[in-house]
Structure 1
Amino acid sequence: MAQNKKKCRQYNVDYLRYGFIPSPTNPQLPMCLLCEQVFSNKAMKPSRLKEHLPKMHPDKASKELNYFQVIKERHSKRVGETLVLPAVKEAVSTVMEQDSSAVVNAIPLSNDTVARRIKEMSVDTEEQLSATLRVNCFSIQLDETTTGDNNALLMAYVRYLSDCGVTEEFLFGKYLITDTRGQTIFSALEEYFQEKSIPFSNLLACATDGAPAMVGRYRGFIALLKERAPDILTVHCILHRHNLVAKNISPQLHKSLDFAVKSINKIKAHALNDRLFRQLCSENDEMFERLLLHTEVRWLSRGNCLSRLCELFATVLEFLGTKDVDLRNNLFSSQCDIFYLADLFEKMNEVTLKLQGNGVTLVHSKTTICSFLVKMDLYRETVGRRQFNHFPRLATVSSKLTDEELLCYTEHLRMIKADMELRFRDLQNLQVPYWILEPFQVDVFEKEPIIQEHLIDLQNDEEAQATFHTSGWQGFSQVLYMQSKYRNRLNLIASGALRLKLSSLNPSTKTLAANHQGQGSH
């Protein structure tokens, strides 16, 4: 008798009210619009989908269907056709009680027109920012990456003081035609500054990663930059330093991590194995049906892929038992190491997320790093005493742990703390004035004369007092999202799409609209 096929659930358009759409790669899997997480087909039912918003996005749980419709359409350049035109048509016919055809047909929404409008708004916001940087001091942060189509993309952000406080803005993105050496990167920055008439004298500080092309003593980008701005303060990116610490693991743990990566690749790298593994996960009633790949350039992926592997560990062992017995045995013998690394990398990912985002300052970064350094002592002491309150995955295999393995973990935690203290010595020694932390509590008359008037204004600003206690880089992530395999020919820089996506400045739409002649009737 033929075995009955398991029911495959289909997507219902009503699921959009829960914030889910079909996955672009597999329409039988639901994908969250907010975090872009893809779930198994078993989750394709209202009772499961409803749980995601209150749990992972509580601030969006009360949003209505229209909110998710806007999110669904905002990246596709079809908002005008799918949302604006129907709204205009309804407004004209309902409010004005007129035929809406003439009004709707007069609104140009062709692909070329939309692309041209995006470019004009991008140029306008860029000019606004350039005008600000010509007369204000600012700091800059640069990094480069290789896009999916093998182009080298250099991106720069700036921070400056505006009427709204410290403001962070996307400055520019440029494709590097040939190499990514320090001279090439500096030439790109110098060319942009000359084109926009931005003086190097306004540049106060620069943050980069620790790559030789950036920090080389003679030909690095920083060395060339200091020739033009000798007094500039240079900083090694705190996020990059933290990522380097995460790579510091002992030979034993590195070997276990290698077994984990090989096991994941054994399944994910072969289409047949991936399909068979998904079927096995479904039969075992697993919460997830897919493993996550580890990508070196994505700093959170190491922790995420190990966490998923731990969730599906028994099923992975069962699957590898029929495909590669030696690899299965090596993975099983490394279970304690893998569970320990999954817990530790999850904690390091939490630190990484705290160090990202707009408005993160050195004061906030110092608090985050110093707090984690103290926690490392706590973790080392508790693990050494076989107390695994802070390592929940490791606690599930505590009965298998040997004293030698515990000694390896405590030594690894000690090594990580020592590495962090070495890399973040400047941040730990940073002296933060008390008036910065508590500007409403300090005695103005005891402070430097240059800041006394500003402190008085601040202390008497009731609105500032009310918001004081309530108050990335994400550019490369947006590049990966916008330049998908369906739009791999999109030039993010020339089109202006990337700037509008990352900039918080509003284009002068009234001025731009006034420069266009109204489309006459035909």
Structure 2
Amino acid sequence: MMHKMNSVHAKKKVRQYSDEYLLFGFIPATHDERLPFCLLCHQCLTNESMKRGRLENHLKAKHSIHVNSKLEYFKSLKEKFEKRSTINSLFSARSASKDRGLEASYEISLLIAKCGKNHTIGENLIKPAISTFLKVVLEKDDQDLKSMPLSNNTIPMENIISCAADGAPVMMGKKNGVLKLLKDDNPQMLLVHCVIHRQNLVSKKVSPVLNETLNAVIKCINTIKANAKCELDGKALVSYLADIFEKLNVLNKELQGTNMTLVNSKAKIFGFISFLELSQENISVKKFEQFYWLNKFEVTDATCLVIVEHLKIMVSDFNFRFSDLKEINYPSWMTQPMLVDLSDVTMEYQGELSELQNDDSIKALFKIKRTMMW
């Protein structure tokens, strides 16, 4: 019995890559070395497939013409794959020097702050001193020094195109809030209120009838569990509340995560608004299939009216709070970089997008990750 319990809780075996797998066209995946990656179809298999037999079967089933290919052929494929153009190499190489300058600026500013000196000493003394040292001692050009911002007004306000913030008064204040002051200096700046915060505010807006029902549930939940015969008035309303809050919780989780972008957030929010509008029509004609718990009860006309009214309030509140998000139009090359017509793209990005559209490795990456490849 103990042996069975130990086997259940035993850690799952993680298979490791072996150099001999290259003979079947496989290398370890760049994002996770525990996964085998096919050099022929750019497919990433599971760790369970990290076996000689399974990798050989993949080669025979999907790439039969390469079954008898020599190891040198797969080595050349591996070398070509490792030298491929990547998103980082295309877009970040030119900014490497600026990034180092920005990092140096931060470190010097930190030293100035620790010494309790006025920040202007960086521009008036430290920067000229470094320039003199480079020219006199090292006999080097101080061109890169110009990319190191140390002054209070290095970044032009018109270069700040957007700013996101939570609902704190110091940020959102209409008179002296940070966003208000930024907007005064740059009227074209896009200001975005935290998407998740606004979604939470919408979920809290409940009509008096539903709020009374919700409070009754909260106060009486222990009594209801203790007494099976206790019947709560408004079972249908309680069921509806359970359903709608479950859907709001799902939406909230979908809006979280490091990989969530403003593009994805907009799609989630306005997709949910469309669902609420459709639900109004369905509930008006007593179609409750989209609401699991509500569908289990007989719902009166009066209850339907309460629910429809609440859905209308939510739609109105969502549209009001996310009106700025609705007005944002993203360029097509952000979501469909492989399909966009280069003639419709500004000259600034045509060259880089042309490289993207003709790079097979990036095409394969886009098929797997879509916009997450950025």
TM over 0.5, yes or no?
yes
Q: Which residue of 2 aligns with 1:209?
A: 166
State how 1:257-276 maps to structure 2 within 5 Å: 257-264=214-221, 267=222
Distance 1:258 1:199, change over 3 A: farther
Bigger shift: residues 440-449 or 253-262: 440-449
Structure-to-structure mapping, 1:122-521, within 5 angstroms: 134=102, 204-223=161-180, 233-264=190-221, 267=222, 317-320=224-227, 332-396=232-296, 398-399=297-298, 401-471=299-369
SS of the residue aligned with 1:207? strand
Residues 135 and 439 of structure 1, relative CA distance in 2, 3 Å threshold: farther
**2: distance between equivalents of 1:17 and 1:61?**
17
**CA, structure 1 residues 383+390, in 2 after alignment: closer, same or farther (shift >3 Å)?**
same
1:340–1:391 Cα contact (<8 Å) kept: yes
Specify the SS of the correspondent of 1:440.
coil
- Give the structure with the higher percent helix: 2
Aligned partner of residue 234 in structure 1, secondary structure: strand
Matches within 5 A, 1:65-84: none
Cα distance, 1:389 vs. partner?
0.8
Instruction: Give 3-state SS (helix, strand or coil) of 2:163's partner.
Output: strand
**Structure 1, residues 156-198: CA drift from partner, whole Å, max 9, x if none?**
xxxxxxxxxxxxxxxxxxxxxxxxxxxxxxxxxxxxxx99x99
Residues of 1 paired with 2:244 and 2:293: CA distance? 10
Post-superposition offset of 1:135: 6.8
Between Structure 1 and Structure 2, which shows a larger proportion of strand residues?
A: 1
Q: CA deviation at 1:413?
A: 0.7
- TM-score normalised to structure 2 length: 0.55
Q: CA, structure 1 residues 18+373, in 2 after alignment: closer, same or farther (shift >3 Å)? A: farther
- Residues 210-263 of structure 1: CA distance to partner in whole angstroms, max 9, x if unpaired? 232321123334346668988754310111111111011100100111112223
CA contact (8 A) 1:134 1:198 kept: no
The one-letter code of the counterpart of 2:226 is F
Residues in 2 aligned to 1:244 and 1:60: alpha-carbon distance in whole angstroms = 41
Q: Give the TM-score of the pair, scaled to structure 1.
A: 0.40
Note closer, same or farther for the CA distance 1:200–1:228 as it changes in structure 2 (3 Å cut): farther
Distance 2:332 2:189 in 1: 25
Equivalent pairs counted in the alignment come to 240
Deviation digits for residues 409-431 of structure 1, max 9, x if unmatched?
Answer: 01111111111111111222222
Change (3 A) 1:394 1:356: same
Distance 1:448 1:404, change over 3 A: same
Matching residue of 2:85: none
Q: Which has the higher contact order (CA 8 A, sep 6+)?
A: 1
Deviations 1:365-402 (A, max 9, x none): 22112211111121111112121110010111x22x22
Amino acid at match of 2:192: V
Aligned to 2:286, the other structure's residue is in SS state: coil
Structure 1 unaligned blocks of 5 or more: 1-11, 20-58, 63-127, 137-193, 268-315, 323-327, 472-522
Q: Judging changes above 3 Å, is the alpha-carbon distance between structure 1 residues 353 and 200 closer, same or farther for their aligned structure 2 residues?
A: farther
Residue 204 of structure 1 deviates from its aligned partner by 5.0
Task: Kindly provide the amino acid, as one letter, of the partner of residue 463 in structure 1.
Answer: S
Give, in whole Å, the separation in 2 of the partners of 1:468 and 1:377: 33
1:462 to 1:244, Cα distance in 2 relative to 1, 3 A:
same
After superposition, the Cα gap between the structure-2 partners of 1:451 and 1:220, relative to the gap in structure 1 and judged at 3 Å, is same
Residue in 2 that maps onto 1:16: 9
1:439 counterpart SS class: coil
In 2, the alpha carbon distance for the partners of 1:237 and 1:387 equals: 34
Letter in 2 for 1:368: K
What one-letter code is carried by the residue in structure 1 that aligns with 2:366? F
1:27-54 per-residue CA deviation (whole Å, 9 max, x = no partner) reads xxxxxxxxxxxxxxxxxxxxxxxxxxxx
Pair 234,334 (structure 1): closer, same or farther in 2 beyond 3 Å: same
In the TM superposition, residue 317 of structure 1 has moved relative to its aligned partner by 2.4
- Tell me how large the CA RMSD over aligned residues is: 3.8
The one-letter amino acid of 2:357's match is: Q
Identity %: 32
Given that residues 192 and 324 in structure 2 are in contact (C-alpha distance below 8 angstroms), is that contact kept between their aligned partners in structure 1? Answer: no
Structure 1 residue aligned with 2:89? none
- Give the structure 1 partner of residue 58 of structure 2: none
C-alpha contact 2:164 2:192 (8 A) present in aligned 1: yes
* SS at structure 2 position matched to 1:441: coil
Please, which runs of 5 or more residues in structure 2 have no aligned partner?
Answer: 13-44, 49-95, 105-148, 370-374
